[in-house]
């Protein structure tokens, strides 16, 4: 296949339990002119054999590549380098699509000449609970006309149909860090001429609780990821134009890291917890010294403001809470207010 309408990029690593459901949803797409590019990222389980079975059944549509394990960003970038589609769609290998997803998205993109098309998703939680996250029915737009949409944008690549040239223009996913999705989603949005919206839920996202409850060195990458976004806007001459929006995005995601501190249950993580607190505070205070005056922040925090400021304006006290009882009981007692008063900061 020399060219096609949509290239579906699937990075694969240790997902043999869900891979069949994912691949079935892709090969069964109602849009015919697609290619599926599955990149086995050195997976030690039976994932490669499963992929090869699908390729053998449909060699015209399914392409399988196997590389040494270098992380999801490298696997996605590698997949894009092999893509021939006019548009790209990223799918995580433990998730799956509605069978008409590609057709609905591609037809909308072509009808409206979109560089980027946003769409809704289902959140699949452990225990079988499903949450529907529809997008509001709105006309296609440009961020330059509706900048507030940047502050509401989900930080994922897989709920967006992306024109391939647009993805190549931003330089792909940053490699070697966690939270690589976050800057890319916003870089795509500010670079797109015209953004389309399909309100329907077309993607089934499997929420993995373990990822959020683990504190590692890579948790500190949140600041690196946010700096990539900030520097991209500066390099493109867009920093001042989107300053309030990127400021809010950075505050929101830094807040989210603090909320998650109450979930980290591993012993011996005191040093990492304190480093995370200090790193986040230093970043916000140096890059956005007036973030407390941000209109998005103030609008969202009208309720419970004093509780928010109690945590955010007193880094030394915050670190003291982390230090006591190795970041357990006292920290939990103080941080419950984030979940109660500021759930909107945690929503995508």
- C-alpha–C-alpha distance, residues 121 and 114, integer Å: 20
CB 75 within 8 A of CB 11: yes
pLDDT score for 210? 57
Q: Which class for 214: exposed (0-12), middle (13-18), buried (19 or more C-beta within 10 A)?
A: middle
- C-alpha–C-alpha distance, residues 214 and 212, integer Å: 6
Of 100, 98, 82, nearest in space to 36 by CA: 82
Please give the average per-residue pLDDT across 237-250, as a whole number. 96
| CA distances to 216, 260, 262 from 213, in Å | 10, 7, 9
Q: Which class for 278: exposed (0-12), middle (13-18), buried (19 or more C-beta within 10 A)?
A: middle
pLDDT digits (tens, 9 = 90+) for 11-39: 999 999 999 999 999 999 999 999 999 99
- Which element (helix H / strand E) includes 258? helix 243-261
pTM: 0.87
* Proportion of the chain above pLDDT 70, given as a percent: 80
**Mind listing the domains of the chain with CATH numbers?**
4-207 (3.90.550.10), 213-345 (no CATH)
pLDDT score for 2? 78
pLDDT score for 346? 45
Top-confidence range, 139-143, 191-195, 320-324? 191-195
Handedness of CA 280, 283, 288, 290 (dihedral sign): positive
Please tell me the least confidently modeled range out of 2-11, 128-137, 171-180, 283-292.
Answer: 128-137
pLDDT score for 333? 44
Please give the average per-residue pLDDT across 339-347, as a whole number. 45
pLDDT digits (tens, 9 = 90+) for 70-86: 999 999 999 999 999 99
Average pLDDT of the chain is 86
Confidence at 299, pLDDT banded by 50, 70, 90: confident
Residue in the structure block whose two tokens are 């999801």? 72
Residue 3 CA, chain-centre distance (Å), reads 28
In the predicted structure, residue 306 carries a pLDDT above the cut 60: no
Confidence at 139, pLDDT banded by 50, 70, 90: confident
Residues 229-261: b if buried by 16+ CB within 10 A, e if exposed: bbebbeeeebeeebebbbbbbbbbbbbbbbbbb
| Cα-trace Rg, the chain | 21
pLDDT digits (tens, 9 = 90+) for 210-227: 555 567 788 899 999 999
pLDDT digits (tens, 9 = 90+) for 255-270: 777 666 655 555 566 7
138: left (phi over 0), alpha (psi -120 to 50) or beta: beta
Which position has the higher pLDDT, 89 or 303?
89
pLDDT score for 321? 52
pLDDT score for 194? 96
pLDDT score for 337? 42
CB 11 within 8 A of CB 83: no
Q: Residue 171's CB: how many other CB atoms inside 10 A?
A: 12
DSSP structure class, residue 35 = E
Tell me the β-bridge partners of 122: 132, 204
């Amino acid at each position: 296949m020399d060219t096609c309408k949509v290239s579906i990029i699937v990075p694969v690593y240790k997902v043999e339990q869900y891979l069949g459901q994912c691949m079935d949803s892709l090969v069964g797409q109602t849009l015919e002119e697609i290619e599926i590019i599955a990149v086995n990222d050195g997976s030690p389980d039976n994932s490669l054999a499963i992929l090869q079975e699908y390729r053998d059944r449909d060699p015209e549509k399914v392409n399988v590549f196997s590389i040494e394990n270098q992380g999801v960003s490298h696997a996605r970038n590698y997949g894009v380098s092999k893509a021939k589609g006019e548009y790209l769609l990223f799918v995580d290998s433990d998730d799956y699509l509605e069978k008409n997803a590609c057709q609905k998205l591609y037809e909308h993109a072509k009808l409206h000449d979109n560089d980027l098309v946003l769409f809704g998703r289902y959140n699949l939680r452990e225990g079988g609970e499903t949450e529907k996250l529809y997008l509001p029915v709105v006309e296609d737009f440009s961020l330059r006309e509706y900048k507030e949409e940047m502050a509401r944008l989900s930080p994922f690549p897989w709920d967006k149909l992306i024109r391939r040239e647009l993805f190549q223009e931003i330089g792909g996913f940053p490699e070697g860090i966690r939270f690589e999705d976050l800057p890319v989603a916003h870089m795509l949005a500010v670079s797109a001429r015209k953004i389309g919206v399909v309100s329907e839920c077309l993607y089934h996202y499997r929420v993995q609780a373990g990822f959020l409850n683990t504190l590692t060195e890579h948790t500190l990458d949140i600041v690196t990821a946010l700096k990539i976004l900030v520097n991209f806007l500066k390099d493109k001459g867009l920093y001042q134009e989107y300053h309030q929006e990127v400021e809010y995005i950075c505050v929101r995601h830094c807040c989210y890291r603090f909320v998650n501190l109450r979930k980290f249950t591993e012993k011996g993580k005191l040093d990492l917890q304190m480093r995370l607190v200090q790193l986040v505070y230093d970043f916000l205070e140096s890059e956005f010294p007036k973030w407390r005056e941000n209109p998005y922040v103030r609008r969202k925090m009208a309720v419970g403001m004093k509780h928010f400021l109690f945590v955010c304006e007193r880094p030394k006290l915050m670190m003291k809470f982390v230090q006591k009882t190795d970041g357990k009981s006292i920290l939990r007692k103080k941080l419950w207010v984030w979940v109660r008063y500021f759930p909107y900061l945690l929503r995508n």
